[in-house]
């Protein structure tokens, strides 16, 4: 099962319906759960400075019983090696990709 790379998020709007289906199937969690992670990190990092680790992400994964190895691999493939990088590297591309598709 291939991992989704950052450049694939950037080209989301160019994917066909079948390709989009495979994209969604290969995510480490549902779209909603990934967006929940972004919200969780927003709250935690508003109160705490990033320690440049994945402490809050790991807490979220444990609390929601998500596969840590699968999720961590996906985050690393998308340029996120700490909590703040998830918000700066993955979240903007994520929402840009899904906003583009919802507008079409």
Task: Give me the percent of the chain exceeding a pLDDT of 70.
Answer: 73
Contact 2, 78 (CB under 8 A): no
pLDDT at 79: 84
Instruction: Domain ranges for the chain, please list them.
Output: 6-103
Please indicate whether residue 10 or residue 27 has the higher confidence score (pLDDT).
Answer: 27
pTM of the shown model: 0.77
Asked whether the CA dihedral 17, 19, 25, 29 is positive or negative, the reply is negative
pLDDT at 4: 46
Please indicate whether residue 21 or residue 82 has the higher confidence score (pLDDT).
Answer: 82
Please indicate whether residue 11 or residue 87 has the higher confidence score (pLDDT).
Answer: 87
Q: What is the spatial distance between Cα 19 and Cα 25, in angstroms, rounded to a whole number?
A: 10
Gyration radius (Cα) of the chain, Å: 13
**End-to-end CA gap in the chain:** 28
pLDDT tens-digit readout, 38-58: 999 999 999 999 999 999 999
């Amino acid at each position: 099962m291939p991992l989704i790379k950052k450049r694939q998020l950037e080209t989301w709007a160019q994917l066909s319906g079948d390709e989009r289906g495979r994209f969604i199937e290969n995510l480490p969690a549902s779209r909603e759960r990934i967006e929940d992670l972004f919200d969780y990190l927003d709250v935690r990092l508003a109160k705490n400075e990033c320690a440049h680790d994945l402490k809050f992400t790991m807490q979220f994964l444990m609390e929601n019983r998500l596969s840590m190895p699968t999720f961590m691999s996906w985050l690393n493939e998308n340029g996120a090696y700490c909590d703040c990088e998830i918000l700066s590297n993955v979240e903007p591309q994520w929402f840009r990709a899904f906003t583009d598709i919802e507008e079409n």
